Amino acid sequence: MRELRPLGSVIQGSLSKGLEVRLHPDVLVEEMRVGKFLVVQGVRSRFFCMLTDVALGTASQRILASPPEPSNIFLQEVLAGSGTYGTVDLTPMLMFTPDFDYAQSSGDAMAERSRSRSEPESNELASYQANSSASIQLLPVKTIPSHFSQVYDASERDFRAVFGWEDDATRRNFAIGQPIDMDVPICIDLDRFVERSNGIFGKSGTGKSFLTRLILSGIIRKQAAVNLIFDMHSEYGWEAVSEGKQFSTVKGLRQLFPGKVQIFTLDPEATKRRGVYDAQELYISFDQIDVEDLMLISRELNLSEASLENAIILRNEFGNSWINRLLALNNEEIQEFCEVKMGSKSSIMALQRKLTRLAELKYIRASCPHNYVNQILETIDAGKHVVIEFGSQSNMLSYMLATNVIARRIHASYVRKADRFLQSKNPSDRPTQLVITIEEAHRFLDPATAKQTIFGTIAREMRKYFVTLLVVDQRPSGIDNEVMSQVGTRITALLNDEKDIDAIFTGVSGGQSLRSVLSKLDSKQQALLLGHAVPMPVVVQTRPYDAKFYKEIGDTTWEEMTDAAVFKAAESAIADLGF
């Protein structure tokens, strides 16, 4: 391990407010960037810290009153380090104490303090290296280092001790990126990631879709769970347009994992136009739509409370076929029904008129002889990942209706499976862990509707029934606080709105110190990771989603998939001709 030079000394601080560090004269303030990962070597413990602020200080107010001339380089150099200096604020995130006796390894601690900075640090680093076989237990920070403890850049070993490595046989680690200014992977623990519902947040244009593809690819490669992805804009299943000035495309999950991903489509014509010829068609019938689904899309349909109350009366009378029966009623029949069942004629007629909009959706049928939701469940039970494409049916009314109907039935199936497993305790009955990915999550999880949608139920249940969410959104402030507090891991790109930044740190201890870190992220390929799947918050330069990534994680090459696509196109054309 390369010998590290000390960057500064701890001069003051507290457990609640963090540490203040004065930089040594030979350290440039410009080298210190918010989000950087630093290590403080205490007498007995090593502290992993995040840099949260940078400041300039002076030893005398006279320097501020009469600063040196810009041309007086000599005076500036004389003042540097003594009269003028830089300070940084650190927030300790983790600590560990080695298993060996530190006092015996490095001598009397007080005697060590009297030596030069470089000599004791060399001893400390040598002891740290010699202890490579010792077990390192990462602990929450419950104390702080003493005055004048030395601060160092985190080494590769520090990062591996905290975040592990991707080839660790004991855990399903996935490298999502690397820290700022250092070439070492930052891994998330996928087993812990899929245990709870998670979120990917960031304002428009910050690369949320690319982040989502990275995470989903890792889950598929490491077999941590099975994915059900509601692909609103057709970005995950097959190739999608890459961001940038020049037009280019990136691979979808089906291209990376052709044998593990199945595409279902609500718009078969649009999916075929994109070059996908083996997608399964998917339809929803009126008898699958419940009143709770209409409550979710009441704003899109402009349904009043009275109309929804009368919808409940109709459902109680006609059962699952209530929409078909309602659409078939004429004025006289509606009048007769209202007289018998104490309904409101005007509300029922308004409901009838507005529900005709649903019949215009391409995937809606009066009835379906084939149970498409069961087909999705069978695909999931077989260990395959499902991407549901919407094609031209990607408006909010269409997206919210389909996702809620399908997810509600799949969740009900998982509840039955989980109950059977808890009763039998038979490992063969254990349901496959399922991660459901939804976009525009604030439309499903806002305070007014979170308790009415199946997604709100899933988020609050965590992994009780082996189903969790991966929510993708640019407005986390629109998500109910109770739901946000249950989000286990948050992967957040740049956000500017204060309300959105506040929402990210809902239920996060010490979140205030990370606000400045989040607001200073680059607009592309940077994200703040915090929560259940990482030992401590960290800023990463996200892994590029490019040809190198395809080769490292995918099951096939681009050329092989292109040949397969051509073969499928020819096969489909021959079938259309009747041969």
Give residue-wise pLDDT tens across range 413-445.
Answer: 999 999 999 898 888 888 889 999 999 888 888
Between CA 304 and CA 194 the distance in angstroms is 38
What is the pLDDT, as a whole number, of residue 104?
37
DSSP 147-173: TT-EEEEPPHHHHHHHH--TT-TTS-E
What is the pLDDT, as a whole number, of residue 112?
44
Q: Residue 163 pLDDT more than 60? A: yes
Q: Residue 3 pLDDT more than 60? A: no
Which of 128-132, 294-298, 349-353, 556-560 is predicted with the least confidence, judged by mean pLDDT?
A: 128-132
Question: Are the CB atoms for 494 and 523 separated by under 8 Å?
Answer: yes
What is the pLDDT, as a whole number, of residue 434?
94
What is the pLDDT, as a whole number, of residue 117?
40
Nearest Cα residue to 227 out of 69, 27, 388, 373: 388
Specify the residue for token string 């602990």. Answer: 139
Tokens representing 368 are 């379906």
Cβ count near 437 (within 10 Å): 23
Model pLDDT for residues 195-227, shown as the tens digit of each residue? 999 999 998 888 888 999 999 999 999 999 999
What is the pLDDT, as a whole number, of residue 385?
95
Between CA 313 and CA 342 the distance in angstroms is 9
End-to-end CA distance of the chain: 67
Nearest Cα residue to 235 out of 269, 206, 200, 211: 211
Tokens representing 115 are 């030596």
DSSP-derived 3-state class of residue 290: coil
Tokens representing 114 are 């009297």
In the Cβ-directed half-sphere of 176, how many Cα atoms lie within 13 Å? 30
CA 473 to chain centre: 9
Q: Residue 99 pLDDT more than 70? A: no
Bigger pLDDT: 126 or 398?
398
Between CA 285 and CA 183 the distance in angstroms is 52
Between CA 25 and CA 8 the distance in angstroms is 9
Model pLDDT for residues 504-551, shown as the tens digit of each residue? 988 777 667 788 788 888 888 899 999 899 988 888 999 988 888 888
Which residues are CB-contacts of 477 (< 8 A; sequence separation ≥ 6)? 442, 497, 499, 500, 502, 503
Between CA 260 and CA 221 the distance in angstroms is 10
Which of 178-182, 184-188, 231-235, 479-483 is predicted with the least confidence, judged by mean pLDDT?
A: 178-182
Which residues are CB-contacts of 14 (< 8 A; sequence separation ≥ 6)? 144
Tokens representing 77 are 């150099």
Which of 100-114, 200-214, 381-395, 469-483 is predicted with the least confidence, judged by mean pLDDT?
A: 100-114
Q: What does the CA dihedral 253, 229, 484, 501 come to, rounded to 10 degrees?
A: 50
Bigger pLDDT: 302 or 79?
302
What is the pLDDT, as a whole number, of residue 392?
85
Question: Are the CB atoms for 508 and 237 separated by under 8 Å?
Answer: no
CA angle 53–481–387, rounded 5-degree value: 95
State what percent of residues in the chain have pLDDT above 90: 28
Specify the residue for token string 């280019």. Answer: 248
Q: Residue 175 pLDDT more than 60? A: yes
Between CA 156 and CA 216 the distance in angstroms is 26
Which of 120-134, 220-234, 253-267, 393-407 is predicted with the least confidence, judged by mean pLDDT?
A: 120-134
Which residues are CB-contacts of 468 (< 8 A; sequence separation ≥ 6)? 194, 195, 196, 197, 198, 225, 433, 434, 435, 436, 458, 462
The listed range with the strongest mean pLDDT (3-12, 164-173, 379-388) is 379-388
Tokens representing 74 are 């000599």
What is the pLDDT, as a whole number, of residue 438?
93
Q: Residue 107 pLDDT more than 60? A: no
Q: Residue 333 pLDDT more than 60? A: yes
What is the pLDDT, as a whole number, of residue 145?
94
DSSP-derived 3-state class of residue 278: coil
DSSP 129-150: HHTTTS----EE--S---TT-E
Mean pLDDT of 547-560: 71
pLDDT band at 386 (very low <50, low <70, confident <90, very high): very high
| Residue 126 CB burial class (10 angstroms; 0-12, 13-18, ≥19) | middle
Average pLDDT, the chain: 83
DSSP-derived 3-state class of residue 184: coil
pLDDT band at 246 (very low <50, low <70, confident <90, very high): low
